[in-house]
A and B are shown apart, each in its own frame.
Chain A
């Protein structure tokens, strides 16, 4: 039995190694803000959300599979939370009742397993009841299969047979074991046997040939004899104890996996709630094949900024379909970084099967998402800044594949503009030839303009909008790179304010 709520045909692996660039992505995209909004302080939800968001899906099919399940969750959120609650009960019960199987002795392993299974049977029955009651309200393939499986596998007859086993395994009638003579006439091949039903009539019983049976007793004070006897018994029940303990583990595993897989959707529900409250739009994105070049959206906003500000923020509309290279230039503090982040976040959210923060969003799936951002001065002083930047770039090159996506934010500026732009140019050209999709935020006119002059078919140039009075709209619009980033505006704003303040103070 499998939940299969994250993949159609396999389990979600919480132990899977995170991509090597996990740390960079988390830092550059402010991912923790998003993940914390999903987790709402729950460590487990955080862990699952992190794993799910960072292990991007590459196949459209699974993305849509999750999207549909998520749509079901949004429709039936309380039922979904109830199911999640059952999975959570396992942990609470274990904590409360000290359930556990940890012993070297088959008899106590058996005892512990029976206790544990009794508890699981209770939870499975609850699960079954929910399935019976609510299954018809779910439409997604994933949930339909899940409920169908519960109904099929956990019928009343099955619960009866489990109870029957749990009763027999208490061995009120004694333990029946078969054995053979092994080497040196030592007993071997001890196998636990199910006692035959004695459903014979009294006539049959009287006339049946009595098999010869020999009996002996261990004397009351014979301690070593008693130990030997229990060893013998242990040999008999070793396998069944193992089978039972493993079954308990399997059911535990099933419920745990259910908990893990639902945790992702619970996280999505949490996030959805918060964004709905702010009034930000959410939509299910349209993923396209990795080899295509699609990137068009309306009202795309930085979900992390919205969550931090707790208010609606400016969204952007861009059509960059068929483009391999997006170069973003323009005014300082004009929203370039925010824009770049919103692109990265939306991509990650889409590729884990989630909704995206936009009115509409369509993009090709990418093989891997990488970020290369300008960093603070290296605190360890081990390497110069450019050296550090290039070494990070080299790490990326080690891991990047065709059809990946790479976000640069003011990279290679740790040297003068000419050298920096030449480095950047060579890197970008090589990456483009490798079919890697690039978004590059830069102040470097030489770099940006160089590409602009090439008149490439697959490059688009965006600019942070500046109003003529120097005001910022935080809108990103199409436009060629300019020689200035309007730093003066910022200067004026800061110093201008200070001047005004001084003036008003002196008044």
Chain B
């Protein structure tokens, strides 16, 4: 297999045109928050286009899942990180050169950049040779890398770099500064005078005293005096500096493009895995979902909203996990129940899981099977928009119409509290109409609604209800459970509180 990219097995699958625009449903599902958080520390890699583009091929997803799973190997992850760090340093040096004035200074930093690049390549070759790789992606990459490292192009670059570096590091010179005059000559084994002075006064040492060393600015950049000194040093050692000139002229395009691309693309995995670390440490589970483009019997156990989890994590609050499953002909999860009970979160979770699975990532949950959709639609309540001159209800309907027009039977629709700006009778009527369309299309869907009637419309609908603590209905559990939406969940818990349930009454009326 020939290595193309760590994100795409086949060259033709690659992203044609990278987009910086998030898919339409990102905001509704809070995926924007998730991806922002994941990429926040990796701005320089411009990873968002990778997260904004979903795959539409099961094998392409598996290619990534294998790689991501392989990176679960801590030592491999560390190897890649250390490679990335060196490449990063290299880029920093190259950027620096553009800002510098003096020739030997620029050349010096160029040499540093190439040296660290050579180290990056060599270290990674060595590190990967020690790892038992399984994923197609990494196996192909290792082969590519090893071939490259053995190529004449690279080995001669390496040899020249080391030789020059060694030559320069052996240079030792002396400055004699008096008044406004500097003399530059080779070093002649004069003794270290500071040490000599220190030795003389050693006997008075009384334990820790103040550090008087001035915090002189770290050596970066070069002023014209230092540059002139460097020029004189070059005169003292003319051969080495001539070699340096030639080396720089020759090796301008030393960087291998495939490695450069790899360095960026592999950060897609690392960024995602790093983001999961804190949640894993808190005991939350992630899994690699089974993906099917045929079976719509999806499930996820102990899943959660990754965006909300991040927020709760920073607030030190606990995170509630929820399960769902669809069996047989079940297609639509209708979620009802008390407000602020986690219904919207549940709906978002469903969407997030599918989206993240579709870009080859592990998803929140202990075990999951998800559907490879062609398109994902969300319909969340929007602010009234004065510009479209339509009423809110009409707006709702227009949007739904558009969605249903574009959707295929392989699409997913997530609806959140629509038809709120009309009477209940209307809402029931409209809801049933839309629901029928969805049922006809055999769409996978989550529908958050206050209209209980929708929950039992067909064998394809499954009713789920947000729950409260029976003893105190004001306290939400944020658990969403499969239960008939009889509007009684809430009333029942109040009855329990007053000991008026059937069981209670039986007991009390004995």
- Seen from chain A, the residues whose Cβ lies within 8 Å of a Cβ on chain B are 1-2, 11, 101, 104-106, 109, 153, 161-162, 165, 168-169, 173-188, 191-196, 211-220, 224-226, 228-229, 231-236, 238-247, 249-251, 253-254, 257
Least Cβ distance of B226 to chain A in Å? Answer: 6
Q: How far is the CA of A105 from the CA of B190 in the complex (A)?
A: 25
Q: Which residues of B contact A246 (CB under 8 A)?
A: 201, 209-212
Q: Are A242 and B174 in contact, with the CB atoms below 8 A? A: no
In the complex formed, the residue of A with least CB distance to B167 is: A181
Asked if B191 lies at the interface with its beta carbon under 8 angstroms from chain A, I say yes
16 pairs of residues in contact across A and B, judged by CB atoms under 8 Å: A174-B178, A176-B190, A187-B230, A192-B192, A193-B190, A193-B191, A193-B192, A213-B184, A214-B235, A215-B181, A228-B225, A244-B197, A249-B206, A251-B204, A253-B209, A254-B206
Q: With A169-B197, A211-B186, A213-B185 given, is the CB distance from A234 to B214 under 8 Å? A: yes
Q: How far is the CA of A63 from the CA of B209 in the complex (A)?
A: 30
Q: Which residues of B contact A254 (CB under 8 A)?
A: 204, 206
Q: Which residues of B contact A186 (CB under 8 A)?
A: 105, 108, 219-222, 226
Q: Which residues of B contact A215 (CB under 8 A)?
A: 181-184
Asked if B229 lies at the interface with its beta carbon under 8 angstroms from chain A, I say yes
Q: With A225-B224, A249-B209 given, is the CB distance from A192 to B194 under 8 Å? A: yes
Least Cβ distance of A198 to chain B in Å? Answer: 12
Least Cβ distance of A423 to chain B in Å? Answer: 47
Q: Are A216 and B185 in contact, with the CB atoms below 8 A? A: no
Q: With A184-B109, A194-B196 given, is the CB distance from A178 to B174 under 8 Å? A: yes
Give a binary string over B188-218; 1 marks a CB under 8 Å from any A CB, 0 the rest. 1011111011101101111101111111100
Q: Are A191 and B194 in contact, with the CB atoms below 8 A? A: yes
In the complex formed, the residue of A with least CB distance to B110 is: A184
Q: Are B214 and A243 in contact, with the CB atoms below 8 A? A: no
Q: B112's contact among A109, A183, A214, A228, by CB below 8 Å, is which?
A: A183
Q: B225's contact among A173, A212, A220, A225, by CB below 8 Å, is which?
A: A225
Q: Which residues of A contact B235 (CB under 8 A)?
A: 214
Asked if B176 lies at the interface with its beta carbon under 8 angstroms from chain A, I say yes
In the complex formed, the residue of B with least CB distance to A113 is: B212
Q: Which residues of A contact B201 (CB under 8 A)?
A: 162, 243-244, 246-247, 250-251
Asked if B173 lies at the interface with its beta carbon under 8 angstroms from chain A, I say yes
In the complex formed, the residue of B with least CB distance to A183 is: B112
- Which 9 pairs across A and B sit closest by C-beta, in order of nearness? A174-B178, A185-B108, A247-B201, A193-B190, A253-B206, A228-B225, A250-B204, A184-B108, A245-B212
Q: A175's contact among B177, B197, B219, B224, by CB below 8 Å, is which?
A: B177
Q: Are B194 and A1 in contact, with the CB atoms below 8 A? A: no
Q: How far is the CA of A92 from the CA of B172 in the complex (A)?
A: 47
Q: How far is the CA of A194 from the CA of B192 in the complex (A)?
A: 6
Q: With A184-B105, A185-B104 given, is the CB distance from A236 to B188 under 8 Å? A: no
Asked if B133 lies at the interface with its beta carbon under 8 angstroms from chain A, I say no
Asked if B469 lies at the interface with its beta carbon under 8 angstroms from chain A, I say no
In the complex formed, the residue of B with least CB distance to A251 is: B204
Asked if B236 lies at the interface with its beta carbon under 8 angstroms from chain A, I say yes
Asked if B140 lies at the interface with its beta carbon under 8 angstroms from chain A, I say no
Q: With A1-B204, A181-B233, A214-B185 given, is the CB distance from A238 to B175 under 8 Å? A: no
Q: A185's contact among B93, B184, B230, B232, by CB below 8 Å, is which?
A: B230
Q: Are A175 and B222 in contact, with the CB atoms below 8 A? A: no
Q: A174's contact among B176, B196, B197, B222, by CB below 8 Å, is which?
A: B176
Asked if B488 lies at the interface with its beta carbon under 8 angstroms from chain A, I say no
Q: How far is the CA of A220 from the CA of B174 in the complex (A)?
A: 23
Q: How far is the CA of A239 from the CA of B168 in the complex (A)?
A: 25
Q: How far is the CA of A254 from the CA of B206 in the complex (A)?
A: 7
Known contacts A225-B225, A246-B212, then 7 further A-B pairs from the complex at CB < 8 Å, ordered by chain A residue: A165-B196, A173-B178, A193-B193, A214-B232, A239-B194, A240-B193, A244-B197
Q: With A169-B197, A187-B229, A220-B180 given, is the CB distance from A196 to B188 under 8 Å? A: yes
Q: Are B228 and A216 in contact, with the CB atoms below 8 A? A: yes
Q: Are B219 and A182 in contact, with the CB atoms below 8 A? A: yes
Q: With A246-B209, A249-B209 given, is the CB distance from A217 to B181 under 8 Å? A: yes
Q: With A106-B214, A183-B112 given, is the CB distance from A176 to B176 under 8 Å? A: yes
Q: How far is the CA of A366 from the CA of B173 in the complex (A)?
A: 66
Q: How far is the CA of A228 from the CA of B216 in the complex (A)?
A: 12
In the complex formed, the residue of A with least CB distance to B100 is: A184
Give a binary string over B148-173; 1 marks a CB under 8 Å from any A CB, 0 the rest. 00000000000000000000110111
Q: Which residues of A contact B190 (CB under 8 A)?
A: 176, 178, 193-196
Q: How far is the CA of A242 from the CA of B210 in the complex (A)?
A: 9
Q: With A216-B228, A228-B225, A245-B212 given, is the CB distance from A185 to B168 under 8 Å? A: yes
Q: How far is the CA of A14 from the CA of B204 in the complex (A)?
A: 19
Q: Which residues of A contact B168 (CB under 8 A)?
A: 181, 185
Q: How far is the CA of A186 from the CA of B228 in the complex (A)?
A: 11
Q: Which residues of B contact A214 (CB under 8 A)?
A: 183-185, 232, 235-236
Least Cβ distance of B242 to chain A in Å? Answer: 14
Q: Are A177 and B174 in contact, with the CB atoms below 8 A? A: yes
Least Cβ distance of B239 to chain A in Å? Answer: 14
Q: How far is the CA of A217 from the CA of B107 in the complex (A)?
A: 25
Q: Which residues of A contact B178 (CB under 8 A)?
A: 173-175
Q: How far is the CA of A194 from the CA of B215 in the complex (A)?
A: 24
Q: How far is the CA of A363 from the CA of B298 in the complex (A)?
A: 87
Least Cβ distance of A415 to chain B in Å? Answer: 49
Q: Are B177 and A233 in contact, with the CB atoms below 8 A? A: yes
Q: How far is the CA of A224 from the CA of B194 in the complex (A)?
A: 28
Q: Which residues of A contact B186 (CB under 8 A)?
A: 211-212
Q: B107's contact among A179, A185, A228, by CB below 8 Å, is which?
A: A185
Q: A180's contact among B171, B193, B200, B221, by CB below 8 Å, is which?
A: B171
Least Cβ distance of A249 to chain B in Å? Answer: 4
Q: Which residues of B contact A245 (CB under 8 A)?
A: 210, 212
Q: Which residues of A contact B175 (CB under 8 A)?
A: 175-179, 232, 236
Q: Are B192 and A191 in contact, with the CB atoms below 8 A? A: yes
Q: How far is the CA of A217 from the CA of B204 in the complex (A)?
A: 41
Most A CB atoms within 10 A — which of B172, B184, B225? B225
Q: Which residues of A contact B210 (CB under 8 A)?
A: 245-246, 249
Q: Which residues of B contact A174 (CB under 8 A)?
A: 176-179
Asked if B246 lies at the interface with its beta carbon under 8 angstroms from chain A, I say no
Least Cβ distance of A80 to chain B in Å? Answer: 22
Q: Which residues of A contact B225 (CB under 8 A)?
A: 218, 225, 228-229, 232
Q: With A153-B203, A240-B197 given, is the CB distance from A183 to B109 under 8 Å? A: yes
Q: Are B206 and A257 in contact, with the CB atoms below 8 A? A: yes
Q: How far is the CA of A109 from the CA of B194 in the complex (A)?
A: 14
Q: Which residues of B contact A220 (CB under 8 A)?
A: 180
Q: How far is the CA of A219 from the CA of B180 in the complex (A)?
A: 8
In the complex formed, the residue of B with least CB distance to A174 is: B178
Asked if B385 lies at the interface with its beta carbon under 8 angstroms from chain A, I say no
Asked if B318 lies at the interface with its beta carbon under 8 angstroms from chain A, I say no
Q: B174's contact among A193, A226, A244, by CB below 8 Å, is which?
A: A193
Q: How far is the CA of A234 from the CA of B210 in the complex (A)?
A: 18
In the complex formed, the residue of A with least CB distance to B179 is: A174
Q: How far is the CA of A101 from the CA of B209 in the complex (A)?
A: 13
In the complex formed, the residue of B with least CB distance to A220 is: B180
Q: Which residues of A contact B222 (CB under 8 A)?
A: 184, 186
Q: Are B107 and A213 in contact, with the CB atoms below 8 A? A: no
Q: Are B187 and A178 in contact, with the CB atoms below 8 A? A: yes
Asked if B314 lies at the interface with its beta carbon under 8 angstroms from chain A, I say no
Least Cβ distance of B176 to chain A in Å? Answer: 5
Q: How far is the CA of A257 from the CA of B207 in the complex (A)?
A: 12
Q: Are A250 and B193 in contact, with the CB atoms below 8 A? A: no
Q: Are B183 and A181 in contact, with the CB atoms below 8 A? A: no
Q: Are A178 and B172 in contact, with the CB atoms below 8 A? A: yes
Q: Which residues of B contact A226 (CB under 8 A)?
A: 180
Q: Which residues of A contact B215 (CB under 8 A)?
A: 104
Q: Are B172 and A216 in contact, with the CB atoms below 8 A? A: no
Q: Which residues of A contact B180 (CB under 8 A)?
A: 217-220, 225-226, 229
Least Cβ distance of B173 to chain A in Å? Answer: 6
Least Cβ distance of B507 to chain A in Å? Answer: 51
Give a binary string over B398-420; 1 marks a CB under 8 Å from any A CB, 0 the rest. 00000000000000000000000
In the complex formed, the residue of B with least CB distance to A176 is: B176
